[in-house]
Amino acid sequence: MSNKNTLLAISLSLSLFLVFGAVGMLAADEEPIKIGALNPLTGPLASWGKPVTNGLELGITHVNEAGGPLGRKIDLLVRDTKTDSNTASSAAGNLIDVNDVPAILGPLATTTATAIAEGETIPNEVLQISTCTGIPYTDLDDNDYAFRTSAPDNYQGKLLGELALDVG
Cα distances from 138 to residues 90, 117, 152, in angstroms, run 22, 11, 7
Pair 117, 86: CB distance under 8 Å: no
Q: Which tops the pLDDT comparison, 84 or 156?
A: 84
Task: Kindly state the helix (H) or strand (E) to which residue 105 belongs, with its residue range.
Answer: strand 103-105
Reported as a pLDDT band with limits 50, 70 and 90, residue 23 is low
How much is the pLDDT for 45?
94
Q: What is the DSSP string of 77-91?
A: EEEE-TT-HHHHHHH
How much is the pLDDT for 98?
97
Rounded Cα distance, 134 and 10, in Å: 20
How much is the pLDDT for 6?
47
Strand-pair partners of 39: 80
Least confident of 82-91, 121-130, 153-162: 153-162
Rounded Cα distance, 134 and 68, in Å: 33
Contacts of 98 (CB under 8 A, 6+ apart): none
User: Each residue of 126-149: pLDDT tens digit?
Assistant: 999 998 777 788 888 889 999 888
The chain-wide mean pLDDT, for the chain, equals: 85
* pLDDT at position 8 over 80: no
User: Is residue 74 left, alpha or beta, with left meaning phi > 0 and alpha meaning psi from -120 to 50?
Assistant: beta
Pair 105, 35: CB distance under 8 Å: yes
- pTM of this structure: 0.77
Least confident of 90-94, 112-116, 153-157: 153-157
The span from the first CA to the last CA of the chain, in angstroms, equals: 30
How much is the pLDDT for 108?
87
Rounded Cα distance, 119 and 82, in Å: 18
